[in-house]
Amino acid sequence: RLGNDPRAQTHVGKRTFRRLAQELASRSETVQDRLTLGPVQKMKLGALAQELTAQREEDDKEVKLNVEQILQNANKGSTADWMRRRCGHLAPITLNALVAALMAQDPTPSLQAVNHALTSEDIDNLLDDVAGVICRVVRLGQAARVQRTV
C-alpha cells in the first residue's frame, strides 16, 4: 500500500521505501532466530512446566485447607451461635468480609460486633491467615499465566 502512494513514487520516497523494507526484513529474521526454541530450551521449559504444576497443586490444596480453617475460626462460638447462624438469625463471617476487613482502618470492632467470641488476638491471626491465602491465590494466578504461555 505504501508503494502505491504518490509520495513513494519520488526518488527519495522509493529509496526510503526500499530502506524500510530491508530493515523490516532484517529485523524479522533476527527476531525469528531468537524466538526459535531448540531441544535444550524445550527440555528446560518442560521442567519448568512440571515445577509450576506441582507448585499450583500444592498452593491449591493449601488455599482450600486454609480457607476452611479461617472460616471455622472466624465463626467460632457457642452452640447457640451456631444454631443462630444455621437458622439465618446470625450472619456468618465470610472470606469476602475478612478480605474487606483487611482494608479497614480498624477491623476489630466490626468483626467483634458480628462474632462476640473473637478476641483481638483471634482477629489478628485471622487477618494474617487471610493475607497468606491472598498471596497464594496470586501465585496460583501467576503460575497459570506462565503455564498458558509455555
Q: What pLDDT digit, counting tens, does each position of 84-139 carry?
A: 888 988 888 999 999 999 988 899 999 999 999 999 999 999 999 999 999 999 99
Residues 27-43, mean pLDDT to the nearest whole number: 56
Rounded to 5°, angle at Cα 30 from 29 and 35: 100
Domain ranges of the chain: 1-36, 38-149
CA-to-CA separations, 85 to 69, 74, 92, in angstroms, rounded: 17, 12, 6
Mean pLDDT for all residues in the chain: 83
Cα separation, 15 vs 147, whole angstroms: 45
Burial class (CB in 10 A: 0-12, 13-18, 19+), 101: buried
pLDDT score for 41? 60
pLDDT score for 16? 77
pLDDT score for 8? 59
Checking if the pLDDT of 58 tops 70, the result is: yes
Cα separation, 139 vs 150, whole angstroms: 16
Alpha-helical segments (H) within the chain? 11-35, 39-74, 79-87, 95-103, 107-114, 120-149
